Structure 1
Amino acid sequence: MNQVLIPTGFAPPVPPRGLPLRQLQGATMGTTWSVRCATTIDPARLRAGIVAQLERVTAEMSGWRADSDLYRFNRLPAGASLRLPEGFRRVLACALETAAATDGAFDPTLGALVDLWGFGAQPAETEGPPPETRIAAARACAGWRRIGFDAATGEAWQPGGLALDLSGIAKGFAVDLVAEWLLAAGVRDCLVEIGGELRGHGVKPDGSPWWVGIESPPGPRDASPPFVVALHGLAMASSGEYRRCFHHAGRLYGHTLDPLSGQPIDNGIAAITVLHPSCMQADALATAFAVMGPAKALDHARHRGIAALLVLRDGSGGRSEHVSPALAAMLD
């Protein structure tokens, strides 16, 4: 039996009976995407529109493309500025707002550190952890308060040596962008997924919700049943160190870095899932909560009304699950 999560205030909409269920998929951002939707729109037109939205995100914010706006910004000389395109502007504004709200637990300026640890576009220079001197130098280049940004005009100023890395938020934005395009095209019943981040609207043609299981990290779990959520006007993003990591000298080093230490986090959190109307915000919050640690993350979620699930490791190799009040209120 599952633990069922239903959005508060959920009123089942009129199902799109008689409409065919379209299913499309592809590759983007080093991962895969999929869309399921009830519509009569030609699949070729749907695919073209979806791919155009994904291409827009990678052209603006990819750290792997030498022609992206992010790549250009990271290589500006100190004092120079770049007027960001609309999508990049939205993402950077949300990233900096999340950084301020979480006291820097989410920091979009860790590009040099991410590359140094081998989790970015550049491969790691050494096997295992990098030298402390290199970590300190990369940390000195970072700091979300260093960047100048005018959200109204989209102008961003390079303070010198700062490297943006938006991998903790851009994928969620891409999910939102595709969902918004579908809704604008008249598709009111859809489920969008990119690399495990999701957003759903409406219901399936048979009237049932878009049921999605919350991924559980590998290894033993406690006795509680798994969670499934009805994604109706709701997005879901998860963060787990088991997804991107390496092992060295008997220790696991995950891809989520603590901005204060410049090191991968090691605070007992195995995985985090956040539910939010915006996948972009859910994506950023999942990363922030991983950095904050269990107590601060749950306290932040409680005071902000954020639905979150934290999976914690214990000293004996087991794990336990902890939910915020907002998520507990969704239990059916």
Structure 2
Amino acid sequence: MTFSVLRPVRVVLASAFLVLAVAALAGCSFEEEEKVWEISGPVFGTQYHINVVLKEDQDRLENLANGIEEVLEDIDASMSTWRNDSELSRFNRLDDQSKWTGISRSLYEVLATAKKVSELTGGAFDVTVGPVVNLWGFGPDARPEEVPTEDELSSLLAVIGHDKLALKDEPPALRADPNQYIDLSAIAKGYGVDAVSRFIESEGISAFLVEIGGEVRVSGRKPGGEAWRLAIEAPVTGRRQINRVVALEDQAMATSGDYRNYYESEGKRFSHTIDPKSGKPITHHLASVSVIAEDCMTADALATAFNVMGYEQAQELATRENIAAYFIVRGEGGFQTDYTPAFSSFLAN
């Protein structure tokens, strides 16, 4: 069983793949002094759920919970576009972004990873697409009364692009030309998972599961020696249904899909995932893609990029680059699944 501490409210996981830790652990037989404790709370407009394996120690658990809150607050204060006072929002408001602006090491790391994924995927991942996301009503701005026009999209697409950003390592600095609005919502949660994981490791805990809004990273094994089991969710609107289960030990997994965040207008469905090349919501048949990587930040960005690219292009790229990816595709007879060779070793029986 799991032991819940430190948070008065337990919230059901709202993820594209459900973490099976709670259910699976309920049937485990633990060593007498080893228990799985859950720490949970709100963050980034979603929820975080963390399972740690350690002996019962209320003071240590309280300090751990407080430390996790501090890590997440620092990330939110740096990378949120929903906070006017965040480091990223301040950069986005600069009158002249063409001059080098010093940034935090954490913001640099996220932007550097974003740049690598953008280059790898031919621009399918692009953190400058924020103005287009906002135009469609999926950002901090209110939903538009009408669907954006071709002229509106063209004017934005003409000035944005991941290649408009430049980074400098020492000291960390950023510049953009012309001015850009950077949105890290497709990678910041993954970075948050990694940052919390590093903090937990620094506290001497080697077995844990960290989940933020569906992005997950695990370390070690559960008491009894079992790997952590995660479920890839079927992309069915309005209910939870497991498609496949994977077993992880020291990996991260992220999922991107078009079946949770969308709206309908004049009989058409508009996904929150925007193709940076067309400036429009994706319309292909790839419903969901899950990516396993060593770090959650990379998995998060790759899952988004693959979701933009569509099944054929993403499957080809992932296979060529030996990336572990699992695809759920809409077909005439229902959902069809496929995965790359690198993913096969993680499938649970």
The normalised TM-score by structure 1 is: 0.90
Determine which of 52, 60, 65 is the counterpart of 1:47.
65
Determine which of 97, 100, 113 is the counterpart of 2:132.
113
Q: Are the counterparts in 1 of residues 237 and 260 from structure 2 also a CA contact under 8 Å?
A: no
Which residue identity lines up with residue 82 of structure 2 in the other structure? W
SS at match of 2:114: helix
Tell me the residue number matched to 2:108.
Answer: 89
1:247 aligns with 2:264: yes
Tell me the residue number matched to 1:23.
Answer: 38
Q: Are the counterparts in 1 of residues 165 and 175 from structure 2 also a CA contact under 8 Å?
A: yes
SS at match of 1:165: coil
1:112-131 matches, cutoff 5 A: 112-127=131-146, 129-131=147-149
SS at match of 2:164: coil
Distance 2:221 2:173 in 1: 40
Note the alpha carbon deviations across 1:67-110, whole angstroms, 9 max, x for none. 11110111112323321101111000000011011111111111
SS at match of 1:145: helix
State the 1:203 CA deviation. Answer: 1.3
Note the alpha carbon deviations across 1:87-145, whole angstroms, 9 max, x for none. 11100000001101111111111111111111111113324x21222111222231011
Which residue identity lines up with residue 195 of structure 2 in the other structure? L
State the 1:226 CA deviation. Answer: 3.0
Q: Are the counterparts in 1 of residues 247 and 346 from structure 2 also a CA contact under 8 Å?
A: no
1:160-239 matches, cutoff 5 A: 160-218=178-236, 226-239=243-256
Which residue identity lines up with residue 210 of structure 1 in the other structure? W
Which residue identity lines up with residue 290 of structure 1 in the other structure? N
Task: Calculate the aligned-residue CA RMSD, in Å.
Answer: 1.8
Q: Are the counterparts in 2 of residues 189 and 201 from structure 1 also a CA contact under 8 Å?
A: yes
Tell me the residue number matched to 1:159.
Answer: 177
Deviation >6 Å, runs of 4+: none
Distance 1:121 1:16 in 2: 47
Q: Are the counterparts in 2 of residues 147 and 157 from structure 1 also a CA contact under 8 Å?
A: yes
1:33 aligns with 2:52: no
Which residue identity lines up with residue 206 of structure 1 in the other structure? G
1:322 aligns with 2:338: yes
Q: Are the counterparts in 2 of residues 29 and 58 from structure 1 also a CA contact under 8 Å?
A: yes
Distance 1:235 1:328 in 2: 15
State the 1:181 CA deviation. Answer: 0.7
Distance 2:343 2:75 in 1: 30
1:69-88 matches, cutoff 5 A: 69-78=87-96, 79-88=98-107
Distance 1:87 1:17 in 2: 39
State the 1:248 CA deviation. Answer: 1.7
Which residue identity lines up with residue 37 of structure 1 in the other structure? V
Distance 1:244 1:106 in 2: 18
State the 1:251 CA deviation. Answer: 2.0
Q: Point out which structure has higher relative CO (alpha carbons under 8 A, 6+ apart).
A: 1
Tell me the residue number matched to 1:313.
Answer: 330
Distance 1:113 1:233 in 2: 36
SS at match of 2:138: coil
State the 1:209 CA deviation. Answer: 1.9
Could you tell me the percent identity over the aligned residues? 37
Greater shift, 17-26 or 267-276, is seen at 17-26
Q: Which runs of 5 or more structure 2 residues have no equivalent in the other structure?
A: 1-29
Note the alpha carbon deviations across 1:268-296, whole angstroms, 9 max, x for none. 11111111111000000001101111111
Greater shift, 247-256 or 90-99, is seen at 247-256
Greater shift, 168-177 or 114-123, is seen at 114-123
Which residue identity lines up with residue 117 of structure 2 in the other structure? T
Q: Are the counterparts in 1 of residues 36 and 51 from structure 2 also a CA contact under 8 Å?
A: yes
SS at match of 1:228: strand
Note the alpha carbon deviations across 1:135-171, whole angstroms, 9 max, x for none. 1122223101111211332210132331101111000
